[in-house]
Structure 1
Amino acid sequence: MDIETLLKNTSRSLYLSVRALPRSMRPAFGIAYLLCRYADTIADTPVLPSSRRLYWIERFPHLLLEQDPAEAARLAQEISGGTENPYEAELVKNLMPCLELLNNISSEQRENITDVVSAVCEGMKTDLSFFPNESAPEPKAFDTPAELERYCRLMGGKPGLFWSRLIYGTADIHMPEEEFYELGQHIGDALQIVNILRDLPKDLRIGRCYFPRTDLEKAGLTAAELLDSANSARFEPVKRKWIAWGLANLKSGKKYFPQLPKSQPGQRAAVAWPILWTADTFFKVYREPDILNPSKRVKISRSVIYSTMLVTPLLLASNTLFCNWLDKKLRKFK
């Protein structure tokens, strides 16, 4: 199996970041991403009822450890035909080759990979057990902000921790280990909440409202009312609150990025790009007045991606320039 081809075809901007990584980091990061993507395919497949998807999501971390070929084949058989994406279909057929690649990685990195896959699966268990099934007549909301923050930590923060552990094991970081890891989790939290914000209309239509009932009540809304895009203006205070939460987490990048050695430009680029692109995406969400409209797809353009890459050499050469560039993006939120 060609891992780079699978990565390229199942991701977009992330693949660019992987290509920039030092070669020593690429296998662990690539396998972790593909295994998390495999779990995501299980959680989203329309060919299984939610109860069966929940069973396989609960089993998936154990499958990585036990590596039973018969069980892996049974899983692939049950979810085959569940995606129209030919590259995801190819991934579904290649679980055992992925696990063989996992076995070739150091024991420390294997443990790091199984930890992040387990955390992501825990978040997916929430999707499948807390929320109603996709055909429910109206969405269900989390009850409290703490539930949304926990979900962001599982789906974004823990991958940020995985990333930070990889970096700490391959680079000369002068910051205390736990402080560096916590900053990485904050950045991951920001990446997750911006995804939740931009995917809001789609998630609502499969029964999921990640924004807490307590916040909606303050705005005079229910989760069901978010299905009507005419309520976008009423939702604005909730949107602004969670943008502010995400930006506060994203600011951790100003302490995190300068820790990365200038002798590792690829590693610095792979950290700088997601942070800057997330700031750009937050601004797109911030400026979108019709955020509940499912026809409005909020995403940054390829021109934004490539223009960021164009100025990368300047940003990588100077911690001050990077922090100033990020500050410039964050000052737009007024």
Structure 2
Amino acid sequence: MTPQLNELLKQTSRSLYLSARQLPPAARDTFAVAYLLCRYADSIADTALLPPTRRLHWIQRFAQMITHPQAQEQTQLVQEISGASENKYEEQLLKNFPLCLQAFEKLLPWQKQITLDVVHAVCEGMETDLQVFPPETAGEIRALPSADELEKYCRLMGGAPGVFWSKLISHTVPVKIKETDFWTWGQAIGDALQIVNILRDLPRDLRIGRCYFPEEELQKNGLTAADLLHPENSPRFEPVKQYWIRWGRQKLQYAKLFYGALPKTQPTHRAAVAWPALWAADTLNKIAVEPALLDPGRRVKIPRARIYGTMCLTPLILLSNTLFNTWLQSKLNK
């Protein structure tokens, strides 16, 4: 991994970088390439420079561009999407697509395959965003029709990365369980991380026309997607919010099994698994008690002190599945 790509990973992945840093170099490089490619696709799907139809074109082409790169097509993509981000690191990422592809080519065959699997899934989720929801400037809001659709979306955007993470780990350390079970548990954890993102980002998503919470559930509580634009409707949204918090907490229960399957001789891998689960539980707890989740001025975020506090306490649980389970369950019970 070049220093330039490592810096891009550090600046664009936030707390996830802290977990990825615990992986051995070979696994860390694969994670970095997969993450940056998915982040690049996310930038395509969200750019305000292109209409949704053009973004959809590039998302549908994206996996093919990785496996069969063409310099002219890469240049065209970079030209079309660069220049709109206020984040200088994201702007650097947009301009370094060829560098990401070069790093991908250096991966082993199995590493390429799991990377392509997660890119395909994430791109399918982004196609949902571009095909189901109205253009950001349309002044409309649309909700996903059903809980099944939301669960599928979480599976594509969170569960598939969870499977990627699980396969990456199981290729580098011996796990104490059938690999397919290990991957299923990782998928469940990924589902939970995605619902955390959806709950946390709800006010922002609503203002670009996207409501991931099912229309059928909103109707049961006398709401429409447009009603969620008004913070005073937060109490009426509360039953929907609490249902999906419970769903996320149930998924996070699998982190206990996942953590317990990792050898105690692999403390860095165990830390890399423990942190996202504990932070996700903390975030769900903050969302659960937030009385005005619909207010765009009250973004839910766990404090940096909590992040580093968790890291400092981690050595106490690295050799004990029971202590990790107790710590996580204490958060899930709130």
TM over 0.5: yes
Alpha-carbon distance in 1 for matches of 2:86, 2:139: 25
Q: Secondary structure at the match of 2:138?
A: coil
DSSP 3-state at the match of 2:26: coil
Describe the SS at the equivalent of 1:300.
coil
CA–CA separation in structure 1 for the residues paired with 2:13 and 2:177? 31
Aligned partner (choices 225, 241, 257) of residue 255 of structure 1: 257
Partner of 1:281: 283
RMSD: 0.8
Question: Which residue identity lines up with residue 222 of structure 2 in the other structure?
Answer: G
1:133 aligns with 2:135: yes
1:165-197, Cα deviation, whole Å (9 max, x unpaired): 001111111211111111100000000001100
- SS of 1:67's partner is coil
Structural mapping, 1:28-67, within 5 Å:
28-67=30-69
Equivalent position of 1:266 in the other structure: 268
Residues 195-226 of structure 1: CA deviation (Å, up to 9, x unaligned): 10010010000000000011001111010111
Partner residue, 1:313: 315
Which residue is equivalent to 1:94? 96
- C-alpha contact (below 8 Å) 1:57/1:124 kept by paired residues: yes
Amino acid at match of 2:122: V
| Greater displacement, 261-270 / 151-160 | 261-270
Cα pair 1:36 1:117 within 8 Å, conserved: yes
Secondary structure, in 3 states, of the residue corresponding to 1:171?
A: coil
Aligned amino acid, residue 127 of structure 1? D
What is the deviation of 1:267? 1.0
Q: Supply the distance in 2 between the matched residues of 1:22 and 1:216 (Cα, whole angstroms).
A: 45
Q: Which moved more, 1:100-109 or 1:153-162?
A: 100-109
Any unmatched runs of 5+ in structure 1? none
CA distance in 1, matches of 2:289, 2:52: 35
After TM superposition, which residue ranges in structure 1, 4 or more long, deviate above 4 angstroms? none
Q: State the TM-score, normalizing by the size of structure 2.
A: 0.98
Corresponding position of 1:244: 246
Identity %: 57
2:304 equivalent to 1:329: no
Partners of 2:221 and 2:140 lie apart in 1 by 18
Deviation at 1:130, TM superposition (A): 0.5
Per-residue deviation at 1:112?
A: 0.4
Aligned pairs (5 A) from 1:22-33: 22-33=24-35
Which residue is equivalent to 2:194? 192
Give the AA of the match of 1:196. Answer: I
1:24 Cα deviation from its structure 2 partner: 2.4
1:295 counterpart = 2:314: no
Where does structure 2 lack aligned partners over 5 or more consecutive residues?
Answer: none
Aligned 8 A contact 1:22 1:264 in 2: no
Alpha-carbon distance between aligned partners in 2 of 1:78 and 1:5, rounded to the nearest angstrom: 24
Instruction: Compute the displacement of 1:72 (Å).
Output: 0.8
Deviation at 1:261, TM superposition (A): 1.3
The answer on whether the counterparts of 2:176 and 2:263 sit within 8 Å (CA) in structure 1 is no
Superposition deviation, residue 330 in structure 1:
1.0
Pick the aligned partner of 2:117 from 115, 118, 125: 115
Tell me which residue corresponds to 1:5.
7
- Give the secondary-structure state (helix, strand or coil) at the position aligned to 2:21: helix
CA distance in 1, matches of 2:118, 2:198: 19
Cα distance in 1 for partners of 2:138, 2:295 equals 19
Q: State the 1:15 CA deviation.
A: 1.1
The Cα of 1:11 is off from its aligned counterpart by 1.9
Matched length: 332
| Partner Cα separation in structure 2 for residue 69 and residue 261 of structure 1 | 44
Which residue number corresponds to residue 151 of structure 2?
149
Q: Deviations over 1:106-165 (max 9, x none)?
A: 000101001101100100010011000101223100111000000000000000000000
**Matched residue of 1:247: which SS?**
helix
Distance, in Å, in 1 between the alignment partners of 2:164 and 2:72 is 29
Matched, 1:220 2:233: no
Contact 2:125 2:153 in 1 (8 A): yes
| Deviation for aligned residue 1:324 | 0.5
Summarize deviations over 1:270-329 as a string: whole Å, max 9, x none: 110000000000001001010100000101010000000010101112111100100111
Amino acid at match of 2:246: A
